[in-house]
Amino acid sequence: MIFGLESIVAQFPVFLAGVVALIVSIGWHEFSHVFVAYSLGDMTGRNAGRLTLNPLKHLDPVGTLLILVGAFIGWGRPAPFNPLNLRYQRYGSALVALGGPISNLFLFFLFGLLLRIVYPVLGPGNLLTVFLQIFVIMNASLALFNLIPLPPLDGSWIALSLLPSSAGPLRDFLQRYGWLILMAVIFLDFVGGVGLISPYLIRGVSWLANLAGISSYLQV
C-alpha cells in the first residue's frame, strides 16, 4: 500500500465530518442574518432566495473551495440586506449582525447538550461523538471570530453602530481599511505565528465549554 494511504483512509470520515459541520454552521449563520433582517422589515434577503436553511444557498465559491481542500476555514456569501428598510434605524444593522454569532452560540449550546448525552454512551472514538466535538468547537469559534470589530466581520457593524456621530473619521477609516487590517492580523497570526487572534479564540472556546459543562469532552 502507498505510504500514508492507510492514514488518509482512516482520517477521511473525520475530514468529511469537519466539512459537513463547517458548511452547516456557515449556512445557519448566514440564514440567521437574513431572518433577523426579514423580522425587522427588510425583504432583500428573502427576495434573493436566501431566507432558507439550505446551506448550499449561502455558500461562497472561494470560501467553499477552502473548505473542500481541507483548510477548515471558509466563509459564506454575505447576507444581503438594506439598512434603510430596517426598523430601529440606529441599531437595526447591529441587530442583523448579531443574528449570526448568536445563532452559532445557540447551536453550540444545543449540540453541546447532545454531546453531554452521547459522549458517555458512545465514547471518544465514535464518529458521531467526533462530529459533535468538531461541530461545537466550530460554532463557538465562528461566533467569537465574527465578533471581532473589523470589516467585513459582524463585530464591525456592532462597533460602528455604537460609535458617536462625532467619530465619523474613525468610521470612514474602518470601513475603508478595516478589511486590510483584518487580513494582516490573520496572516500574522496563522502564518506568522504572532498569536493576535488564536490564543483568545482558544480561551473563549474554553470558557464557553466550561459554561456549557462540556470542557471534559473537548480538547481545547
CA–CA distance, 175 with 116 (Å, rounded to integer): 42
Query: What pLDDT score does 4 carry?
Result: 53
In this prediction, residue 220 has a pLDDT band, given cuts at 50, 70 and 90, of low
- Confidence grade of residue 2 (pLDDT, cut at 50, 70, 90): very low
pLDDT score of 63? 74
- 102 in Cβ contact with 144 (< 8 Å): no
Instruction: Tell the residue number behind the cell numbers 473525520, with chain if given.
Output: 14
Domain ranges within the chain, ordered by starting residue: 5-217
Give me the count of residues in the chain: 220
**pLDDT over 70 percentage in the chain:** 90
6 is catalytic: no
Please report which confidence band the pLDDT of residue 181 belongs to, taking 50, 70 and 90 as the band edges.
very high
Catalytic residue among 23, 26, 30, 217: 30
Region 1-30: what's the mean pLDDT?
77
Which cell numbers hold the place of 149?
470589530
Record the cell numbers describing residue 78, joined without a space: 454575505
